[in-house]
Structure 1
């Protein structure tokens, strides 16, 4: 069987050993509110900016890359430490490690440099780039937190992250482009909340929990080289 079919088992094995949470709410069933409404926030915008940057680089479109940089600059992100369990991906065939790859996902400064390179001698676009650089981080909105993880080939990261009930929970995985990443989110009862096994390392999901609780976030490196990614939450 393919390795990606074992992503749920890898996370479930940790869920069985998770400590009981001291919340007073009824925690039976799936921790997702039915028909919940919520407005996507800065986490979704950061994920969109990464997708726009990738599109701009593929199409050699300086304006798309510049817009991605402007969005990224407009959001203040706090770097936080998160406990993570790193383990071999259960059931996966042994993967030969292909190397370290990139140290971190692309930053706003790197986006601006790429936009300038793509602009060539276009004075109009270069002027827009200068405007964005001059504006910098002024007027940024805050909220998201991120943690950098460097996940080697054939390995799985599992994070245990709390989210508030009746409030939109947002999660993005922003990889460096070196390897395919898969994502699985389960609640404390082992119910699948979000699953993405697309051939990408730019992943996003959102949901509204019914109660304050912890969620297990599993990230699997399906490639043959290390992927340095950010896990971003609101």
Structure 2
């Protein structure tokens, strides 16, 4: 009896620890971003960004020197997690309205694809280094890792050749089995705060960024959960409007 009680306690501790107590930042993968059934986003993938840049307090992560000579400058966050509907102790990941339905890698295969990154940078899965991204167009199957590990919680290492240059990686998710619609792109920035208005992050404010601003134009629900519309809401007032356009215009054609 005592052994059973101890086992239950241990499993409960592990579950809470894995889902709720990890000190590292994570994107949370889900569907139905507005959490309302019957709307256009019911089957559309998205990432909850509430933990993005949580420890930095800014719009970038600083890379730190490591003991490794190859890609010496590194950081071990953010990783990926997923909404789920069974463990109510999971705190921020428990949301039955936003969790994916079915078995990972059988009913859905969530591919996380790199659509933009500079040279001399890479993203590596900490437990499965074969899932290494160092070129645009490469992807990894999050659902395969989910199935292998038994949960969607995973850690990434982001690595670069120096600790002062602007580095970034832009991801987009899609379901290889077609059950869910692709997500919007989402970007991580490292070492340097990007210029206000550099929304399609590449170090320069140009026509591509203006097009991105127009995509979010007059949306009014910017928050930490969507990273203020991927920084289109530059002043973080929740709205994308002329104030944000003015910030973009002030840096027009400027480069880092």
In which range does the TM-score fall when normalised by the shorter chain? under 0.3
TM-score by length of 1: 0.26
Structure number with the higher strand fraction is: 1
TM-score by length of 2: 0.25
Q: Which protein, 1 or 2, shows the higher relative CO under an 8 Å CA cutoff with sep ≥ 6? A: 1
